[in-house]
Structure 1
Amino acid sequence: MLASRAAGCSIITAAEHMSSEAGSTQCELPDSPHGRRLQRLLGVSGCRPNRVNDLLLLRPESDGESCSGTRERSNNRHVVFFHGDIQNFKEQMVLQPEAAPWLSWSLEQVALILGQRFPSRNIWVVKASRMYLHKFSCYQNFVDSNMFGAPEHAPYAAGQGAFAQLRTLLSNAMERAKLQDRLPPAGGAPAGFSLTLVGFSKGCVVLNQLVYELRGARADPRMAAFVERISDMFWLDGGHPGGGETWVTDKEALRELAASGVSVHAHVTPYEVRDPARAWVGREYGVFTRTLEELGACPSKKLHFQEEPPCILNHFRVILEF
């Protein structure tokens, strides 16, 4: 969560040149090797007609190579990123005094950062459906939330919720982007399809909701094949304005996550887990990681910048360091 706590940290600046098309925007990223293209997909429908999200797609640099040395298609491998507060499209951030200092962490720039981290995969950045006061990201399409984006988590319900929204949104976005190997509208997944999910700050509420839905989704034959293709989930300095449930602490939900075979990664900074005004965040993070360890999940975890004072810049920098 990016709250109003002050931080006088300097940032790196970047710029992109963009051109518009009907319903989408494409831009060449001059700093990206092999001329990777960033495509903006506006108003993509999800599991209900009124559940629409904007997305960015950064396509892979080139086909990947398997460990056996044979060439394999890389466009079935996908990374989906859910952003935090303040983060938005660059042209919208520049208009907001509180957001303008953080342009280095615009959705476009994050897509490029993730492209460097995952060079052989499609990078999808999902924009929150609502930005209250231009800064509080709300993922209402994935989990019931108040106006500030604090979630009310619920178990799986077929045809709605986070898994249904994610699957349908990706399917429709792939069709809009004219990808060759698309996720079918309902059931199944194309050969070689794999999915890595990354939540940053407020965006972690989506990952948390997926964990609460996991048991029901794995039992639903229309969703199980999709769930099985999730290889990794990354929690990056999770936080939201609610008074709890920043991290999943429910043992039965975590038992399901541990049994799913998904590789769990938890990267945090003192900005979130050592804030004395929100001490529950650090406690919940400890319960999350310890419980998964007790259940045999062996999550990877790291506290970044632990020798430095808590700082909003370091909160963002976890996106570079994970």
Structure 2
Amino acid sequence: MSSTTASTSSETTGLGGGVSRDSSVSSQLQRLCAVPGSEPNRVNDLLLVRPDTEEQSCSWAEGRSGNNRHVVFFHGDIQNFQEEMALRPEGVQWVSWSLEQVALHLSRRFPGRYIWVVKASRMYLHKFSCYCNFVESNMFGAPEYSSDFGAFVHLRALLIHGMERANLRPQGGSDSLPPGFSLTLVGFSKGCVVLNQMVYELAEARLDPLVSAFIHCITEMYWLDGGHPGGSETWVTDKQALKELAASEVSVHAHVTPYEVCDPMRAWVGREYRLFIQTLEEFGASLSKKLHFKDEPPSINNHFRVIQEF
């Protein structure tokens, strides 16, 4: 696959088809294909946006903290690489929310941090994102949560291997996190199922010293208008699981729109969201919440716009 160079402005040139190796979209943004996670056959494509000023280039080897602040984003349905979305009628109208465009937006939202966009390992019918490497899911991406699936383990390995591929840490070095490593997790729409799975497995994951150290590096978790095609568990409502989340001292942010939480045809989504908020407040979690576009009719356009507004 050939590399395509593009401006880092709001318009980014798409890459050619037939992805077979890592490619740069711009001086900031790099695609890393088929990065292995917790197992060799569990792979995800990653998109990396480097901060404008990289302080980390030698920090790993020299033991200095450097700039090791990272953000990981899990996208929703329809969203894909720009050239894939442009090929399909259901995707082309939303191409401004391609993975590349969202990655560059997040780099402005979180300046000075490394931005990682994790592409779902499967896109059923080219539009239903399925995060089966992180949570047991059906073909449409509806999750079946478990306390021991291994989302934390997979993400940790994915980031370590991704850093090696991007030359942010030595090839084949020790299986450890860089000094001063911190992590913010952001899930949008379907991507929130990954964050939910992490909440369900939090208690079990803490029993593993290696994974526990990784969890302690997570400072913030953002739920952006969570939704999936299943008939329940759009938001975590299990009290014990939410008690674990509150005790973790991770800052929780919930940003929603009427598209998800005010839809009378899916009334359970709003009920679950309110219970999620209420329970975390009862347990004293570090929590912020906001209903965006509350005075506007529910729309999928505003659903996507929460990525810009949060």
SS in 1 for 2:221: strand
SS in 1 for 2:290: strand
How many residue pairs are counted as aligned between the two chains? 292
Q: Distance in 1 between matches of 2:197 and 2:154?
A: 12
Match of 1:67 in 2: none
Deviations 1:36-83 (A, max 9, x none): 51000001111112111001000011258xxxxxx9732x11000000
Q: Distance in 1 between matches of 2:168 and 2:300?
A: 37
SS in 1 for 2:47: strand
- C-alpha displacement of 1:205: 0.1
Q: How does 1:74-93 map to 2 (within 5 A)?
A: 74=67, 76-93=68-85
The one of 164, 172, 182 aligned to 1:194: 182
Deviations 1:245-264 (A, max 9, x none): 00000000000000001000
- C-alpha displacement of 1:16: 2.1
- Mark the CA change 1:139 to 1:17 in structure 2 (over 3 Å): closer, same or farther: closer
Please list every run of at least 4 consecutive aligned residues from structure 1 whose deviation after the TM superposition is greater than 3 angstroms: 17-22, 180-186
Matched, 1:143 2:135: yes
The one of 89, 96, 105 aligned to 1:97: 89
1:23 maps to a residue whose letter is R
Q: How does 1:6-85 map to 2 (within 5 A)?
A: 14-16=11-13, 18=15, 23-28=21-26, 36-62=27-53, 73-74=66-67, 76-85=68-77
Gaps of 5+ in 2: 1-9, 56-63
Match of 2:168 in 1: 179
- Mark the CA change 1:19 to 1:96 in structure 2 (over 3 Å): closer, same or farther: closer
- C-alpha displacement of 1:220: 1.1
Q: Distance in 2 between matches of 1:153 and 1:289?
A: 20
RMSD: 2.0
- C-alpha displacement of 1:119: 1.2
2:24 maps to a residue whose letter is Q
- C-alpha displacement of 1:17: 5.8
- C-alpha displacement of 1:147: 0.3
Query: 1:170 touches 1:183 (CA, 8 Å); kept in 2?
Result: no
Q: Distance in 2 between matches of 1:263 and 1:321?
A: 18
The one of 240, 252, 261 aligned to 1:264: 252
Match of 1:166 in 2: 155
Match of 1:32 in 2: none
Deviations 1:194-239 (A, max 9, x none): 0000000000000000001111111211211111000000000000
SS in 2 for 1:43: strand
1:164 maps to a residue whose letter is V
- C-alpha displacement of 1:164: 1.1
Match of 2:147 in 1: 155
2:309 maps to a residue whose letter is E
- Mark the CA change 1:62 to 1:183 in structure 2 (over 3 Å): closer, same or farther: farther
Query: 2:15 touches 2:25 (CA, 8 Å); kept in 1?
Result: yes
Q: Distance in 2 between matches of 1:18 and 1:82?
A: 21
Q: Distance in 1 between matches of 2:20 and 2:259?
A: 40
Match of 2:116 in 1: 124
Matched-pair identity in %: 66
Gaps of 5+ in 1: 1-12, 29-35, 65-70
Query: 1:183 touches 1:189 (CA, 8 Å); kept in 2?
Result: no
Q: Distance in 2 between matches of 1:284 and 1:145?
A: 20
Superposition TM-score, scaled by structure 1 size: 0.86
Q: Distance in 2 between matches of 1:52 and 1:122?
A: 20
SS in 2 for 1:98: helix
1:194 maps to a residue whose letter is S
